[in-house]
Amino acid sequence: MRFDRLVLLAITLLLGCGSDPPGAGTEGNPCASFPAAPCQEGLRCVDGDTCKACGEPGEICCNNNQGDYCTAPGRACDNNIDSDGICTDACGSIGKPCCKDATEPCPLGGQCDSDECTANTSTSCYSGAFPHEFHWINELCGEYHETFSTDTVQEAEACRADLIAQLDAVGKFEYGALDEIPVYLDDVCMLSNFGNEQKYLSYFTSQWLAVCESNWCLTGCTWIDGTCP
C-alpha cells in the first residue's frame, strides 16, 4: 500500500511540473510546454518564455523547421535588424539588397549577387544595344523594375517572360507590358483605428489597387484622397 501511494505521488508531481499557466501559447503569455506547440499560429516563442506576434510588417519573423519566414505579402525576413529577424520590404526581392543572415537572402525572387538580389536571367538579357524597362507590382502596391539590354524587342520579351516565371514561383504580382510605366499614386491617406498613414501606391489596373488596399486594411480602414488630416 505504501509503495502504491509513493507511485501515485510521483505521477502527480510529474504531471504538475509539465502543466502550463492559463493563457500559455497565446500572445503576450508564456510559451506552452511540450508536446503542445509553443505558441499559436502567427506567434513566435521569444527567448523561450513569451509568445509574440510574428510575420507581419515590422514584426519579428515567424519560425518553423524550415527556418525564418514572413506571412505578409511582399515581406522578407532580415536578421540583420534583430536576432529573431524583422519582416521588411527593404530586402529580399529583385533590385533590392539581399537579406542579411537569412535562411534565404532573396526569398521574393532572384539570386544574391554582390549583396543585391538580381534576376536569374541569361547574360544576353543585359548585353544588347537597346534598353527596355519591365515593371511589376507586389500585393501592397510596391513597385519594382528591371532594365534589360537587348538587340531586339523579341529578345527583351523573352527575358521578361523568364523573369515572370521566376516571380510567379515566389508570390503574386501584377505585371506591366514591356516599357509600360505604372500609375504612381502619392496622394492617398489610410484612416484606421491605429492612426492615419500617408501611402504611396503603384499599380497598373484599378482591380490590383483594390487588392493592395484590402491587404493594407487587415483590421479595417478607409481611404481618402489627399494629405492625411
pLDDT at 92: 86
Mean pLDDT within 55-76: 84
CA 203, CA 111: separation in Å to the nearest integer?
Answer: 25
Q: Can you spell out the DSSP letters for the chain?
A: -HHHHHHHHHHHHHHHHT---TTTTSTTSPPPPTTS-SS-TTEEEETTTEEEEBSSTTSBPEEETTEEE--STT-EEETTTSTT-EEESSSSSTTSBPPTT-SSS-TTSSEEETTEEE----GGGSSSSEEEEEEEE-TT--EEEEEEEESSHHHHHHHHHHHHHHHHTT---EEPPTTPPPEEEEEEEEEETTEEEEEEEEESSHHHHHHHHHHH-TT--EEEESS--
pLDDT in tens, 21-34: 899 999 999 999 88
pLDDT at 130: 95
Evaluate if residue 10 carries a pLDDT over 60: no
**pLDDT band at residue 16 using 50, 70 and 90 as cut-offs:** very low
pLDDT at 32: 92
CA 160, CA 182: separation in Å to the nearest integer?
Answer: 16
Cis peptide before 229 (omega within 30 of 0): no
82 or 163: whose pLDDT is higher? 163
142 or 72: whose pLDDT is higher? 142
The rounded mean pLDDT for the chain is: 85
Evaluate if residue 151 carries a pLDDT over 70: yes
Mean pLDDT within 67-81: 80
Task: Provide the grid cell at 145.
Answer: 523594375
pLDDT at 18: 55
175 or 79: whose pLDDT is higher? 175
Cβ atoms of 78 and 100 within 8 Å: the answer is yes
pLDDT at 123: 72
CA 68, CA 107: separation in Å to the nearest integer?
Answer: 11
Domain coordinates in residue numbering, the chain:
183-225
Mean pLDDT within 116-129: 83
Mean pLDDT within 140-158: 93
Residue among 90, 106, 86, 84 at smallest CA distance from 171: 106
pLDDT at 113: 84
Amino acid type, 190: M
Evaluate if residue 5 carries a pLDDT over 60: no
